[in-house]
Amino acid sequence: MSAFNPHLVITVKCAGPGCPNVRRESNHWFLITLERDTFFCRPYLPACGLGSLDLPVCGHSCAQKLLDRFLAGGSSGHQA
């Protein structure tokens, strides 16, 4: 495991459909994970990093859009 680098900047873009937001220090973001026909939503904690299946969203509205898409059968959540 590498040491913490205070100069490393990671930009996180919202995975919500059509949303252009990027995460800022004070944003309240969620992580959506779609696994085996299951929708998981949890708070985004930057210290935990992002997994390959994680979809970061900027708030309730974008999380709801991904849930609506999931329930309608378009479970990929990724934008084309």
The 3-state DSSP class for residue 11 equals coil
Strands (E), 1-80: 30-35, 38-43, 54-57
Query: Which of 52-56, 57-61, 66-70, 71-75 bottoms out in mean pLDDT, i.e. has the lowest?
Result: 71-75
pLDDT tens digits for range 19-38: 999 988 767 899 999 988 89
| 31/28 Cα distance (integer angstroms) | 10
Supply the pTM of this predicted model: 0.74
